[in-house]
Structures are given as structure tokens and as C-alpha cells.
Amino acid sequence: MTVEEATDRLDKFLDDAALARKARIRVIHGHGTGALRKGIGEFLAAHPLVEKHSFETEEHGGKAITIVELQR
């Protein structure tokens, strides 16, 4: 999956999560080369529905998973 494909899907997922009044979502992008992790992080940093984002704890996946807190 390319970064563009991933962010297109993530944008729809964020809209759906906001409509469902979710406070937090998890994005599983894996370890790989880090391209998805970087691209998704940049996308989330600029997204208007996102309050903040951070990596999961090491015991629960670490940098392979991004936790996203949505705006209220």
C-alpha cells in the first residue's frame, strides 16, 4: 500500500470515527520501511479532526501502531 492509498483510507476512517463519536482510534501501519508511519504521521498532524497522535506502548505494538485522539 502506498502512503497516498493509506491516507485516502485513513481520511474516510477518521470521518466515520468522528460521526460515530469515537474519542480514540488505533492505526496499524506496521514496522516495514517506516514510509507509512512517516506519511501517516504527517497526514494526522495536519488533519482537522485530530487532536493529537502518538505511538502505542512497546508492549502493545510500539511504533507499528499509532493512537489517534479525535477532536471533541
Inter-CA distances, 7 with 40, 47, 57, 59, 60, Å: 6, 11, 23, 26, 23
Q: What is the pLDDT of residues 48-72, one digit of tens each?
A: 999 999 999 999 999 999 999 999 8
pTM value surpassing 0.85: yes
Scanning the structure block, which residue is given the C-alpha cell 505511538? 55
State which H helix or E strand residue 14 sits in: helix 3-19
Give the percent of the chain with pLDDT over 90.
97
State which H helix or E strand residue 29 sits in: none
Number of domains in the chain: 1
Q: What is the CATH number of the domain that holds 51?
A: 3.30.1370.110
Range of the domain at 62: 3-26+34-70
